[in-house]
A and B are shown apart, each in its own frame.
Chain A
Amino acid sequence: MVAQETKEPTQEESEAERAHPRGLAGLARLGDAARTGTWLAEHRTTVLWVVAGIVGVAVLASLPINLGRAAIGGVSQGAVYALVALGLALVYTSTRVLNFAQGEFGSMGAYAASALVVGVGFERGDVGLVSLFVAAFVAVGVGALIAVLTNLLVIRRLGSAFTALVATAALFMLMQTAQFLAFGLQRPFPRIREGTAFAAFGTNVLWQEVVIVVVLAAVAALLAMLFRTPLGVALLASAQEPYAASLYGVSPKTMSSLAWGTAGALAGLGGLLAGGVFRNIEPGFMTTDYLVPAFTGALLGGITSMSGAVVGALLLGLVTTIAQQLVTSYQLDSAIPNAPVASSFVVLLIVLAVRPTGLFGKKG
């Protein structure tokens, strides 16, 4: 054993942390100690949430935004964030890699769909059922394929979390530039269904938004079922216990590829849906517009929690949509060109400063 950093037993370390909580955690603990048995004290957290909620709604109502639009737009925006965030959380949970290329798996899927699925009406924007399925198959397949290859050819050969992070950043640049070289600056992309589905909450709900939310719901249901199977349990545990996977007869290698592949597929789906939002795609669009909000959403939910990632991403969708509306109504577009991203890293900074483990993350 070569001159290593001195290591106390890790359990002891974390216990030391718990024994000496710093900063906000320490304050909260002091508050815990001062608790009395009254109803108010017992339900303090709930009361605080309710109060915060009322104040929040009051503030929102007083803002120059359309609340119905913000809610609908926020949920559909958040749903795409959630697809990317799920992949980030899955990859982080099972391989402890912060994946910078997650967004680009989606861009590649979208580009592949727009390049390959021609001649069935996809490129013209009248998406029939057949071309839709083919496009979805291509986007998801390409996303998953690139993700699995990334894991097998690059990530598994690297030692530290730091090198893996740099490698995924390099892959992001690689894919973004490749898209630019192959397809140029912009490429039209169809919506799955054009037009308005129905009117509600004082706003028109677009088919596009309905489709996105339905897809997220379906994906969430599927994943929820997957994570209840022994395989899914092992998948989520594989970072902590690499050999737990082998108990189910699956090698750790296959297990990590499964995690990356699923993440890539989710990103591909996200790319397909996000491509239609602006009706065109640009090189690296899934990174520039979706990666930071997805990181923030995943972190907000506690990066090792799948349901947390979905909830965090949906919350963030609301925040970014409201931010966008505010920026528009106060005419700040020139100062803040990308309000969703700008607002999401403000949230990211707040989360990291106040509660790095996120809303639902486990401590330690």
Chain B
Amino acid sequence: MAVLSARDVSISFGGLKALTDVDVEVNENEIVGLIGPNGAGKTTFFNCMTGFYTPTSGDVFINGERVSELRPDQRTVRGVGRTFQHVGLVRSFTVLENVMVAQHRKVGYGLLSGLTGMPWALEEDKVLRARAYEVLDYLGLAHLADERLGGLSYGMLKQVEVAAVLGTDPDVLMLDEPLAGLGPEESDEFGERLLRMRRDLSLTIVVIEHHVPFMLRVCDYIYVLNFGRLLAEGKPEAIRQNRDVAEAYLGEGAATLA
């Protein structure tokens, strides 16, 4: 069953069509890639799926439920977690605190219990902290737990951001350019980690990334966007040999990608 799907999603900003009739299906436990030249509408598509934009027409479904009009936080509660193109973290918190806040919806105690420091609230906060530490440990970031964000490199921040989104306990993880700031070796490592995360956490993953070889290697299925329209879709092998895609990326006359 499709965990996440977009049906005929279109959005225009003051007459300018950013997305036109985009149809995307993401099945459980798949890693789905979204590629396309700059300005093709990839991030706009993410924003439509996660509720930051409301599509002008078309619908968005999470686990079969129509969510087109829901707010971002309501979609998060329904199991969609995302990262941002430029790091989406709370800059005045430490790494561990970021992952703690991201678990917002996992906390059971109410406002008054929190304010009055009821024992169960304190206990739950302890569990929250331990869980946050585990997530960091799982991603190999435990040594950064008490660091402030100001001291971290861009690549590190992108990784911490993934940890924070894992804190929301998503079914679908949507990553916007997770390789930004990473070297080739770290990128390979991240690819491995993505596959491992999918298996360990039974995650479904949607990735935006410019690094085509990486995408061809990691993804099960790839959608190609160009000028807000779906240019092609298919298994990595098919995309590799698609002439249109190669042209969109490399210009006229290019034979194939990679």
Chain A residues within 8 Å of B, Cβ to Cβ: 1-8, 12, 15-16, 18-20
Contact = CB atoms under 8 A, between A and B. Distances in A.
B44 A3 contact: no
Interface string B24-51: 0000000000000000000110010000
Nearest to B82: A6
Contacts of A3: 87, 89-91, 149-150, 152, 157
Interface string B144-176: 000001101010010000000000000000000
Nearest to A6: B84
Contact of A6 (B14, B86, B152): B86
A255 B216 CA distance: 54
Interface in B1-19: 11-14, 16, 18
Contact of A16 (B13, B90, B91, B149): B13
**Most chain B CB within a 10 A radius of its CB, from A2, A4, A15:** A2
A12 B44 CA distance: 9
A8 B56 contact: no
A19 B11 contact: yes
Nearest to A11: B13
Interface residues of B, number: 25
Nearest to A15: B13
Contacts of A5: 86, 88
A15 B54 CA distance: 12
Contacts of B149: 2-3
**Most chain B CB within a 10 A radius of its CB, from A1, A15, A19:** A19
A26 to B, nearest CB: 12
Contacts of A7: 86
A8 B87 contact: no
A4 B11 contact: no
A12 B13 contact: yes
B14 A19 contact: yes
Contacts of A16: 13, 53
Contacts of A6: 84-88
Contacts of B47: 8
Contacts of A19: 11-14, 56
A364 to B, nearest CB: 10
A7 B88 CA distance: 9
Nearest to A13: B13
B13 A2 contact: no
